[in-house]
């Protein structure tokens, strides 16, 4: 469903006139903001299968820090591996990286661990590898990457659309202050139920990720 269709879905529920573009008037622009707010909440509520993607890059000998291009700052990393050498990378932390890179002479070789070190100038997450790569290795991150702010009318939303509409409708009812029979509180309850159902359906697609086994 497109950004415009989401906004018109909210407008219809408010018994307002639909628009041909989100910027058509101040009220439709407000609904666009509420749809984006609702989308962010829905995205952050669950690791949606539709947002799962691979982020890969090739190392450069002697360079330890790399950007996860396109990740933004809200990305959830589920797994990391060196596909050149067929090994998984262990998670480390900034303190350990400070110790090995700044208080000691860092080892060079095939990376075996990574740590998040911040964001770059584009707002993408940065990671540091250790040991410092001594060659070209392909590093793959299995991640959930949010779609980002909806701006164009024709942009399709990646996560389930119904929770977004129901939550944006609840926000609009609260903003309006009068609902013509349905309270904002009731609509927020409906939105919560719709979101919970959508999460349950989506979680079944990769149930193995939430299965715990003894090792």
* Structure-block tokens of residue 51: 């947002």
Taking only the tens place, the pLDDT of each residue in 45-86 is: 999 999 999 999 999 999 999 999 999 877 899 999 999 999
Q: What is the pLDDT of residues 154-198, one digit of tens each?
A: 999 999 999 999 999 999 999 887 656 678 999 999 999 999 999
Q: What would the pLDDT profile of 118-145 be if each residue is shown by its tens digit?
A: 999 999 999 999 999 999 999 999 999 9
Q: Please, which pLDDT band fits residue 207 given cuts at 50, 70 and 90? A: low
- What pLDDT score does 46 carry? 94
Overall average pLDDT of the 26-49 stretch? 96
Give the start-end residues of each E strand in the chain. 52-58, 65-67, 76-82, 87-88, 90-91, 108-109, 113-119, 125-130, 132-133, 138-144
Q: What is the pLDDT of residue 182?
A: 73
pTM above 0.75, yes or no: yes
Q: In this model, does residue 91 exceed pLDDT 80?
A: yes
Is the confidence at residue 213, as pLDDT, over 80? no
Residue corresponding to tokens 């998040």: 116
pLDDT of residue 42: 97
4 vs 165: CA distance, rounded Å: 11
Mean confidence (pLDDT) of the chain: 93
What pLDDT was estimated at residue 166? 97
Residues 6+ apart with CB under 8 A from 39: 147, 150, 157, 159, 164
Q: What is the percent of the chain with per-residue pLDDT over 90, rounded to a whole number?
A: 88
Q: When comparing pLDDT for 15 and 73, which is higher?
A: 15
Q: What is the pLDDT of residue 41?
A: 97
Contacting residues for 7 by C-beta, under 8 A, at least 6 apart:
19, 22, 28, 31, 32, 35
């Amino acid at each position: 469903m497109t950004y415009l269709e989401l906004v018109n879905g909210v407008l219809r529920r408010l018994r307002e006139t639909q628009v041909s573009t989100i910027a058509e008037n101040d009220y439709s622009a407000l609904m666009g903001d509420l749809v984006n707010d609702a989308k962010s909440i829905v995205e952050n509520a669950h690791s949606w299968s539709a947002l799962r993607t691979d982020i890969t890059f090739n190392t450069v000998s002697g360079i330890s820090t790399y950007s996860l291009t396109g990740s933004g700052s809200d990305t959830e990393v589920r797994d990391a591996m060196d596909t050149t050498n067929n090994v998984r990378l262990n998670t480390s932390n900034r303190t350990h990286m400070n110790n090995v890179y700044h208080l000691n002479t860092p080892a060079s070789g095939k990376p075996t661990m990574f740590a998040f070190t911040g964001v770059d100038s584009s707002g993408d997450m940065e990671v540091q590898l250790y040991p410092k790569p001594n060659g070209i290795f392909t590093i793959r991150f299995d991640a959930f990457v949010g779609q980002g702010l909806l701006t164009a009318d024709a942009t399709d939303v990646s996560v389930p659309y119904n929770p977004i509409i129901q939550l944006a409708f609840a926000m609009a009812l609260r903003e309006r202050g009068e609902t013509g029979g349905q309270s904002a509180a009731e609509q927020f309850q409906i939105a919560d139920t719709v979101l919970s159902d959508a999460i349950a359906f989506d979680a079944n697609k990769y149930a193995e990720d939430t299965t715990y086994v003894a090792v």
